[in-house]
Amino acid sequence: MPGKALMIHHNKAMNYHFHDSHPFHPIRLELTLDLLTAAEAMKPAHIMNPRQATEQELLQIHQPTYIDAVKALSATSPNQAWLDRAEQFGLQDEDTPFFPGMHEAASYIAGGTVTAADAVMSGKCAHALHLGGGLHHALSAKAAGFCVYNDVSVAIAYVRQHYNARVLYVDTDVHHGDGVQWSFYSDPEVCTYSIHETGKYLFPGTGFVQERGEHQGYGACINIPLQPYTEDDSWMECFEQSIRRLTEHFKPDLIISQHGCDAHALDPLSHMHCSMKIYNEMPAILHSLAHTYCSGRWVAVGGGGYDIWRVVPRAWSLLWLEMTDHPLKPLLRQQPQMKLPPAWISKWQGQSSVDLPHEWLDDLTHWEGIPRRAEITAKNRESLAVALQDFP
């Protein structure tokens, strides 16, 4: 039923786990699902178990030898010939080290995003959320930035093949969505949009305004690189103006959005200074665009976010509240100081090394403003103007 939203989740996604001190930790999923349960915003009936992506589906995006390497390096003790080649495939660095069971876990994540896209495109639901997904840095023959298989690219290729739909991909992670961009760089039917901290200072070092697509796909790629220390108002201004213009211009059949929440000021891996405000307001814009242009068809996935206790569970829960039209969402507008469920805080506080937040949104009265705010805002407006200059 249109209006209905599904949460796509498989316990096998919890096995996508490099090691315990790695920032991309599956406890992020558990903390979020638990917060939603405590808030009485998610019931077992909302959850759909995805299937594993097939080899055929992975091959639409990834090279056969890369898939062989991922499989071989998933063994408990991989053979030496593959160990020698691990580096070539990006699987032997600090960011994305190979681990036992990697192929199966990553295939379930790719399958989760395919399942989400299928559920929405077939009309089973209007919106689907797959928080295990969003591995936007994985390349055709190389793992990168914590990403092994590019679940988003695999799902977009699936949608193109089975439904021939025009897809708008919206990436709000603080890192440029490079893997998805390169997968569809010359495809005019897939528009990739990414708003992120400029690649001048942050991994993966791409995502400049001049990257606009190539050949037939020229114009179906938009990048909004923002200055370090960008705050809420400038982020929202750049996002809202660009995404409204782009969606109206491109007229997609489906929106797939990536919700890395690492542009938050507390995130240890970036230099942005946004608060929970953008993670409350941005999904509402995507939601309304999906209903205006796509008959509601909207798939959302997770992504980065490395303040796993204070930022990720709240940001991702706010996204689900938006997708389900939950009554807490409008209430938050009237009562910005609304409390998180005490049961969630008491359950997890003992495991966290930091004080858990007590409210859904951040209380900005204690935040110091960024001294260069005017200069940063002006530079972001310049990038926005260049990115939008070809739109009518």
Residues 111-150 vs Zn ion: string with x where CB under 5 A?
----------------------------------------
Buried (b) or exposed (e) across 352-365, using 16+ Cβ within 10 A? eeeebbeebbbeee
Among 103, 175, 297, 329, binds Zn ion (CB under 5 A): 175
State the nearest-atom distance from the C-beta of 347 to Zn ion, in Å: 27
**Contact between 217 and Zn ion per CB under 5 A:** no
Tell me the closest approach of the beta carbon of residue 145 to Zn ion, in angstroms.
7
How far is Cα 369 from Cα 35, in angstroms, rounded to an integer?
30
In angstroms, the CA 222 to CA 168 distance is 11
**Is the CB of 262 or the CB of 362 nearer to Zn ion?**
262
Number of other CB atoms surrounding residue 85 within 10 Å: 16
User: Closer CB to Zn ion, residue 103 or residue 175?
Assistant: 175
Instruction: Pick the binder of Zn ion from 57, 118, 171, 173 (CB under 5 A).
Output: 173
- The residue from 151, 178, 187, 262 that contacts Zn ion (CB under 5 A) is 262
Interface residue with Zn ion, options 26, 134, 213, 260 (CB under 5 A): 260
d(CA 224, CA 242): 8
For Zn ion, give the closer residue by CB, 10 or 175: 175
- Segment interacting with Zn ion (CB under 5 A) among 11-19, 50-58, 172-180, 358-366: 172-180
112 contact partners, CB below 8 Å, separation of at least 6: 8, 9, 10, 13, 50, 130, 132, 133, 151
137 is catalytic: yes
Interface region with Zn ion, contact rule CB under 5 A, candidates 24-32, 98-106, 160-168, 254-262: 254-262
Instruction: Write a three-state SS string for 154-190.
Output: HHHHHHHHHHCCCEEEEECCCCCCHHHHHHCCCCCCE
- Determine contact, residues 134/319, Cβ cutoff 8 Å: no
Give the separation between CA 53 and CA 113, rounded to whole angstroms. Answer: 9
Interface with Zn ion by CB under 5 A: which residues? 173, 175, 260, 262, 304
